[in-house]
Amino acid sequence: MIEHELADAANAFATLDLAEPLLRGIAKAGFETPTPVQAAVLPVALQGRDLMAAAATGSGKTAAFLLPIMQRLLDEPAPRAGTRALVLVPTRELASQVLDHFHAVASYTRLTAAVIVGGEPRNHQVNALRRNPEILIATPGRLLEHLDTGEADLTDVRFIVLDEADRMLDMGLVEEVVAILNHAPGERQSLLFSATLHRRGIIELADYLLKDPVSITLDHPRTAHPHIDHQIILSDDAAHKAAQLQRLLTAAEFDRALVFANTRAGAEQAGAKLVAAGVRAVVLHGELDQRERKRVMALFRAGTVSVLVASDVAARGLDVPGTELVVNLDVPRSGDDYLHRSGRTGRAGRRGLAVSLVSAPEWNRMESIERYLGISVERAVIDGLKARFQGPPKRSKPAKKVVKKVVKKLAAKRGANAADGAADKPKLKERLRERKNIGKRRKPSAKPAAGQGVDAGFEPPKRRG
Ligand code: AMP
């Protein structure tokens, strides 16, 4: 892209008061207009306020927290400081997505980031920590291990993000999260993102993490259509899905069905298999020229074929009355895509059915979509094609109770430490970079604020409010 195009592309973001290197990075990443979440979050976060935002995967939430943090890091350069921003995420995959996102928009800045997640060699991570990355993206368990050994240090952290907080609760990561927060100074800006703010335990966690937060829930057309029933069918792999799809389309009674795949290739393959199995199906994808597209749609509208296999892009704005069944061959990338796909049925007062085939790697995404949209989804099974995968094991403890219990337990532990006197207090570990004389030296005054540091007495969760 040439220079003036870069400037044009960044225009819609320019009103948001972002520095030129960031605007260039945004344009390079191909972002032209802020998503609704970004438009709502950025101004608040740039003011330095704590916030909690309802935002699911696909909403642009990652840039919504990365950009203001990066802006503030650029505003206040601190070359001798350690890590200044911490992004806690529930899974390794999400950590690497956040890092990719960072790289996509950071290429014109000198900001650095590192990922600390479980399942990877510790010594590489120790090396990464020694380089004092400005932004640390981490899963709680492994970061806590590095904090316990003194390899990681959060005393310079001024920004904390809790991403996908609802999933953290689901995965039972609260205890680790609370313990990590106690390693960071109280003077900081904290941002919490969750697919929904209504999940049990979120408010307790927010109370603990945030100080006088702004709550952002977008007025969003995400109320699922009342005339649609939602089902999931568990699947093992692509071949299993193909068999299930074929059975669904031959056994179910419907006039017209729409099948969605996440990619053009997926749509083409599925269409070809269906046709080979004798199903009257056509494929619609973004690469078809206008004439082809018209022809395909005419066949479907007239009922000459009863199944249309489509990719999301191709199906934008599609309205075919009498579509009674929507099948998600792949779980859509976002809640909004799910809404868009399922909304092709259940129109004009008629009932519709949306069925999603869900394999193990797609489970979490489907769950966050359900939460985001607040829909109730029924599990269905196809006789003779039941999946070996039956979903992850259930976690039974209610999250709200878990948060309270964790907070209480930590309070008791810290109370006991304080009562035992200074001699029994856990010593603040010497920071690795001090031992190695790397990076900033600790100033005598650089100890954590009261109530937040590792050696400070524990105070009740609302102490920051
Ligand atoms: P996220 O919800 O953060 O996982 O982002 C979902 C996808 O949207 C990612 O592929 C981003 O690269 C993309 N994205 C984020 N912000 C924008 C934007 N303003 N314009 C276009 N795409 C975006």
Does 433 score more than 50 pLDDT?
Answer: no
Query: In this predicted structure, what is the pLDDT of residue 62?
Result: 93
Residue nearest to atom 20 of ligand 1 (CA): 31
Using a 10 angstrom Cβ sphere, with 0-12 exposed, 13-18 middle and 19 or more buried, the burial of residue 122 is middle
What distance in angstroms lies between residue 362's CA and the mean position of ligand 1's atoms? 19
Residue nearest to atom 15 of ligand 1 (CA): 60
- Alpha-carbon distance of 438 to 421, in angstroms, equals 33
Tell me which DSSP letter residue 200 carries.
Answer: T
Does 209 score more than 60 pLDDT?
Answer: yes
pLDDT average, residue stretch 446-463 = 31
Tokens found for residue 428: 């603040």
What distance in angstroms lies between residue 55's CA and the mean position of ligand 1's atoms? 12
Residue nearest to atom 1 of ligand 1 (CA): 60
pLDDT average, residue stretch 123-136 = 96
Q: Which class would CATH give 2-217?
A: alpha beta
- Alpha-carbon distance of 277 to 164, in angstroms, equals 41
- The mean pLDDT of the chain is 82
pLDDT average, residue stretch 323-344 = 88
Residue nearest to atom 14 of ligand 1 (CA): 60
- Which of 353, 330, 337, 351 is closest to 257 using CA atoms? 353
Which residues neighbour 453 within 8 Å (Cβ) at sequence distance 6 or greater?
155, 182, 183, 185, 428, 447
Residue nearest to atom 7 of ligand 1 (CA): 58
What distance in angstroms lies between residue 30's CA and the mean position of ligand 1's atoms? 9
DSSP string, 104-136: HHHTTS---EEEE-TTS-HHHHHHHHHT--SEE
| Residue showing tokens 């335990």 | 201
Q: Which atom of ligand 1 is nearest to the CA of 101?
A: 12
What distance in angstroms lies between residue 60's CA and the mean position of ligand 1's atoms? 4
Among 4-18, 95-109, 264-278, whose mean pLDDT is lowest?
4-18
Radius of gyration of the chain (CA): 25
- Treating both helix axes as pointing N-terminal to C-terminal, what angle do 92-106 and 20-29 enclose, rounded to 10 degrees? 120
- Alpha-carbon distance of 71 to 82, in angstroms, equals 17
Categorize the per-residue pLDDT at 464 as very low, low, confident or very high, splitting at 50, 70 and 90: very low
Categorize the per-residue pLDDT at 410 as very low, low, confident or very high, splitting at 50, 70 and 90: low
Task: Compute the residue count for the chain.
Answer: 465
pLDDT average, residue stretch 270-288 = 92
Report the residue among 11, 35, 66 best suited for mutation to probe ligand 1: largest number of ligand atoms under 8 A from its CB.
35
What distance in angstroms lies between residue 61's CA and the mean position of ligand 1's atoms? 7
Tell me the CA distances in angstroms from 233 to 57, 223, 324, 358, one per residue in order: 22, 22, 18, 6
Does 414 score more than 70 pLDDT?
Answer: no
Tell me which DSSP letter residue 195 carries.
Answer: S
- Helix H or strand E segment including 352: strand 352-358
Identify whether the C-beta of residue 134 lies closer than 8 Å to the C-beta of residue 167: no
E strands present in 179-331: 189-194, 214-216, 228-234, 256-261, 281-284, 307-311, 323-328
Tokens found for residue 325: 């069944």
What distance in angstroms lies between residue 31's CA and the mean position of ligand 1's atoms? 7
pLDDT average, residue stretch 107-111 = 95
Query: In this predicted structure, what is the pLDDT of residue 220?
Result: 54
Strand partners, 193: 53
Which residues neighbour 15 within 8 Å (Cβ) at sequence distance 6 or greater?
none
* pLDDT tens for each residue of 9-66: 446 788 888 999 999 999 999 888 898 899 999 999 999 999 999 987 667 899 999 9
Tell me the CA distances in angstroms from 113 to 84, 105, 332, 444, one per residue in order: 10, 12, 29, 27
Q: Which atom of ligand 1 is nearest to the CA of 31?
A: 20
Tokens found for residue 112: 């650095």
Does 307 score more than 50 pLDDT?
Answer: yes
Report the residue among 18, 38, 70, 101 best suited for mutation to probe ligand 1: largest number of ligand atoms under 8 A from its CB.
101
Query: In this predicted structure, what is the pLDDT of residue 200?
Result: 81
Identify whether the C-beta of residue 119 lies closer than 8 Å to the C-beta of residue 145: no
What distance in angstroms lies between residue 314's CA and the mean position of ligand 1's atoms? 19
Expressed in angstroms, the distance from the first to the final Cα of the chain is: 47
Does 223 score more than 60 pLDDT?
Answer: no
What distance in angstroms lies between residue 443's CA and the mean position of ligand 1's atoms? 40
Report the residue among 62, 96, 218 best suited for mutation to probe ligand 1: largest number of ligand atoms under 8 A from its CB.
62
Residue nearest to atom 11 of ligand 1 (CA): 60
Does 213 score more than 80 pLDDT?
Answer: yes
pLDDT average, residue stretch 364-370 = 88
Does 84 score more than 70 pLDDT?
Answer: yes
Query: In this predicted structure, what is the pLDDT of residue 347?
Result: 67
Residue nearest to atom 19 of ligand 1 (CA): 34
Residue nearest to atom 16 of ligand 1 (CA): 60
Among 190-199, 267-276, 324-333, whose mean pLDDT is lowest?
190-199
pLDDT average, residue stretch 350-369 = 91
- Alpha-carbon distance of 164 to 184, in angstroms, equals 20
- Alpha-carbon distance of 89 to 86, in angstroms, equals 10
Beta pairing, strands 159-162 & 135-138: unpaired
Q: Which atom of ligand 1 is nearest to the CA of 29?
A: 12
One of 3.20.20.70, 3.40.50.720, 3.50.50.60, 3.40.50.300 is the CATH number of 228-379, namely 3.40.50.300
Residue nearest to atom 6 of ligand 1 (CA): 58
Tokens found for residue 373: 């949209």
Query: In this predicted structure, what is the pLDDT of residue 252?
Result: 80
Ligand 1 neighbours by CB, cut-off 6 Å:
31, 33-35, 38, 57-63
Give 110's Cβ-side CA count (13 Å radius): 6
- Alpha-carbon distance of 459 to 451, in angstroms, equals 6
Identify whether the C-beta of residue 65 lies closer than 8 Å to the C-beta of residue 87: yes
E strands present in 147-188: 159-162
| Residue showing tokens 């907080």 | 165
Query: In this predicted structure, what is the pLDDT of residue 443?
Result: 38
Domain boundaries, the chain: 2-217, 228-379
Range picked from 192-201, 225-234, 261-270, 316-325 for highest mean pLDDT: 261-270
Beta pairing, strands 113-116 & 135-138: parallel
Q: Which atom of ligand 1 is nearest to the CA of 59?
A: 2
* pLDDT tens for each residue of 61-81: 999 999 999 999 999 988 889
| Residue showing tokens 């200074």 | 422
Residue nearest to atom 5 of ligand 1 (CA): 60
Shared fold status for 2-217 and 228-379: yes
- Alpha-carbon distance of 465 to 461, in angstroms, equals 9
What distance in angstroms lies between residue 34's CA and the mean position of ligand 1's atoms? 9
Give 204's Cβ-side CA count (13 Å radius): 21
Q: Which atom of ligand 1 is nearest to the CA of 97?
A: 4
Q: Which atom of ligand 1 is nearest to the CA of 56?
A: 2
Query: In this predicted structure, what is the pLDDT of residue 108?
Result: 96
Q: Which atom of ligand 1 is nearest to the CA of 333?
A: 6
